[in-house]
Structure 1
Amino acid sequence: MSDLATTQDLDSRLEQHRKELTGYCYRMLGSSFEAEDAVQDTMVRAWRSFDKFEGRSSLRSWLYRIATNVCLDMLNAGNRRARPMDLSGPTPVAQAQLNARPEITWLEPVPDGRVLPSVVDPAETAVERETIRLAFVAALQHLPPKQRAVLILREVLAWKASEVAELLGTTVASVNSALQRARATLAEQQPASSDAADPLDEEQQDLLNRYVAAFEGYDMKALTALLREDATMSMPPYDLWLQGHGNIVGWMLGVGDVCRGSKLVPTVANGVPAFAHYHPSADGDGYEPWALIVLELSDGKVGGMDFFLDTKRWFPLFDLPARLDRAGKPVAAEAGAS
């Protein structure tokens, strides 16, 4: 076999694992962009050192070992990704102020297609989706890096304790102890539960249709009817978050009133329904990106709305149009690139 053919074969074998490795690194790092950087670094390291791979473990296990080391190195900087609700209590709308924090503060959304591999088993699919939810990944960030790796490998990816011990270069007893401590910490965080949405059932789709109609019509009575009483709303990169009907509606009819007349385009993020939010353009000739809205559905209602406002980052990542025309249709010539 020629060197070119060998190189192409290795590239193909490595690429087969890119999506699941990206999901793993995303859970570890809480950042979609850092996860892709970590996986690219993993691939480069694997390619350069493949001649040292002795085959005593599977290629997949070897790649996970490299990816884990890459993530642990990145996490040594000490930055923990968070949601606004992880940093402070809710703010009454009368006291609400928009204070921006640096980009590295925030947990980032991720497109499903970048991190969810095709899984035939419905139970495995449910676990994969549940464990990329924003609330779950935020809870993971409270764990020390090695505990985080142990919990993801054992609980999400269903690795055996002996396999994790080999990957981390430690003992089974140490892995079991780390898992026990990680479970206890995660139980204290109590990430909010959400309704299964794979696929959306008829009632969930109706809920989303009514959400779009209420938001685009800026009908606050209709919107609040769709929200849980304890629903939350956040707007990274601002640290402000609101809770409850009165505060959310007060914001949307106050500072948020600039969103009146917007258009929503459906997408998916973090295993849940999401929308690209387009705001009327200043020239009146269409609609421009405003936010990526990630919804949490709970008990048949909307339990959380996370508005990610840095559209220059999120819209290209999610392959969303860069503009809509007056009719609310994508302007093909300016569509976002992947």
Structure 2
Amino acid sequence: MSETATTQDLDSRLEQHRRELTGYCYRMLGSLFEAEDAVQDTMVRAWRAMDKFEGRSSLRSWLYRIATNVCLDMLSAGNRRARPMDLTGPTPVAQAQLTARPELTWLEPAPDGRVLPSVADPAEAAVERESIRLAFMAALQHLPPKQRAVLILREVLAWKASEVAELLETSVASVNSALQRARATLAEAAPAETDTADELDEEQRELLDRYVAAFEGYDMKALTALLHEDATLSMPPYDLWLRGHENIVGWMEGVGSVCRGSRLVPVVANGTPAFAHYHPAEDGDGFTPWALMIMEIEDGKILGINSFLDTPRWFRLFELPMRLPAGS
């Protein structure tokens, strides 16, 4: 076999694992951009060390070991990404001020197609979507890096304790202890049990259709009827977040009233329903990006609206158009 053919074969074998490794690194790091950098570093390290790979474990397990070490190195600075509600208390709308924090502060959104493998089993697909919900991702950030790795490998990816112990070069007892501590921390963080995206769920489709109609019509009475009483609104990169009907509607009728006349285009992000929010263009020609709006739904109502405002970053990531024509 020629050297070129061997190289192509190795490239192909490595690439087969890129998406699932990206999902793993995304859960570890809380940023898709950092996750993709980590996976690229993993691939380069694997390529350079392939002659030392002795085949005592599978290629997949070996790549996960490299990716874990890359992520642990990246997390050694102690940074943890967060949502606004992890950093401050809710602000009454009368006192609301927009204060931006650096990009590295925030837990970042991700398109499902970049971090979740294609699976045929609907139940397995639902578990995969559950594991990248914003609330669950935020809770993961409370774990020390090694506990985070153990919990993801054991509870999300369903690795055996012995496999995780081999990957981390530790004992099964140590892995089980780390998992127990991680579970306890996660129970204290108590991530909300919000619904994942399900296009076959008629109730969810109807709720989202009603939300689009209320938001695009800027009908605050109709919008309020769709929200839980303790619903939240956040707007990274600003650390402000609001809770409750009165504060959310007060914001939307005040500072947020610039959103009148907007258009929402459905997408899926972090395993949950989401919208690309387009605002009337300043030049009067159609609509331009305003926010990536990730929804949290519970018991048939909206529990959270997470509006990520760095649109040049997010709309490119989600391959969304940077302008909608008039009449959309």
TM tier relative to shorter chain: over 0.9
CA shift digits 1:120-165 (9 cap, x unpaired): 3333222211010000000000000000000000000000000000
How far is the alpha carbon of 1:18 from its aligned partner?
A: 0.7
| Aligned counterpart, 2:315 | 315
Contact 1:269 / 1:294 at 8 angstroms: preserved in 2?
yes
Contact 1:101 / 1:238 at 8 angstroms: preserved in 2?
yes
CA distance in 1, matches of 2:178, 2:121: 28
Could you say what secondary structure the match of 2:193 adopts? Answer: coil
| Aligned counterpart, 1:282 | 282
How far is the alpha carbon of 1:196 from its aligned partner?
A: 4.1
CA distance in 1, matches of 2:290, 2:266: 14
| Aligned counterpart, 2:121 | 121
CA distance in 2, matches of 1:136, 1:70: 22
CA distance in 2, matches of 1:120, 1:169: 33
Q: Which runs of 4+ in 1 moved over 4 A?
A: none
CA distance in 1, matches of 2:124, 2:149: 18
Contact 1:195 / 1:300 at 8 angstroms: preserved in 2?
no
CA distance in 1, matches of 2:22, 2:292: 21
CA shift digits 1:224-283 (9 cap, x unpaired): 111111111000000000010000000000000000110111100000011000111111
CA shift digits 1:34-63 (9 cap, x unpaired): 011111111111111111111000000000
Deviates more, 1:303-312 or 1:196-205: 196-205
| Aligned counterpart, 2:152 | 152
CA distance in 1, matches of 2:143, 2:51: 35
Could you say what secondary structure the match of 2:184 adopts? Answer: helix
Contact 2:133 / 2:196 at 8 angstroms: preserved in 1?
no
How far is the alpha carbon of 1:89 from its aligned partner?
A: 1.0
Query: 1:183 corresponds to which letter in structure 2?
Result: R
Q: 1:71-90 to 2 correspondence within 5 Å?
A: 71-90=71-90
The answer for unaligned runs of 5 or more in structure 1 is 329-338
Query: 1:199 corresponds to which letter in structure 2?
Result: E
CA distance in 2, matches of 1:221, 1:122: 36
CA distance in 2, matches of 1:278, 1:171: 52
Contact 1:161 / 1:175 at 8 angstroms: preserved in 2?
yes
How much is the aligned-residue C-alpha RMSD, in angstroms? 0.8
| Aligned counterpart, 1:297 | 297
TM-score with structure 2 length normalisation? 0.99
Could you say what secondary structure the match of 1:199 adopts? Answer: coil
Aligned length: 328
Could you say what secondary structure the match of 2:291 adopts? Answer: strand
Contact 2:199 / 2:205 at 8 angstroms: preserved in 1?
no
Contact 1:32 / 1:109 at 8 angstroms: preserved in 2?
yes
Query: 1:129 corresponds to which letter in structure 2?
Result: R
Could you say what secondary structure the match of 1:239 adopts? Answer: coil
| Aligned counterpart, 1:198 | 198
CA shift digits 1:208-227 (9 cap, x unpaired): 11111111110001111111
| Aligned counterpart, 1:270 | 270
Could you say what secondary structure the match of 2:231 adopts? Answer: strand
Query: 2:72 corresponds to which letter in structure 1?
Result: L
Q: 1:133 to 1:196 in 2, by over 3 A?
A: closer
Could you say what secondary structure the match of 2:101 adopts? Answer: coil
Query: 1:119 corresponds to which letter in structure 2?
Result: V
Q: 1:1-338 to 2 correspondence within 5 Å?
A: 1-328=1-328
CA distance in 1, matches of 2:251, 2:320: 27
Query: 2:191 corresponds to which letter in structure 1?
Result: P
Q: 1:200 to 1:234 in 2, by over 3 A?
A: farther
Contact 1:287 / 1:325 at 8 angstroms: preserved in 2?
yes
Could you say what secondary structure the match of 2:306 adopts? Answer: strand
How far is the alpha carbon of 1:203 from its aligned partner?
A: 1.1
Query: 1:171 corresponds to which letter in structure 2?
Result: S
CA shift digits 1:74-130 (9 cap, x unpaired): 001111000000001110001100000000000000000001101233332222110
TM-score with structure 1 length normalisation? 0.96
Could you say what secondary structure the match of 1:277 adopts? Answer: strand
CA distance in 2, matches of 1:275, 1:120: 25
Could you say what secondary structure the match of 1:303 adopts? Answer: strand
Query: 1:320 corresponds to which letter in structure 2?
Result: L
Percent identity at matched positions? 83
The answer for unaligned runs of 5 or more in structure 2 is none
CA distance in 1, matches of 2:169, 2:196: 36
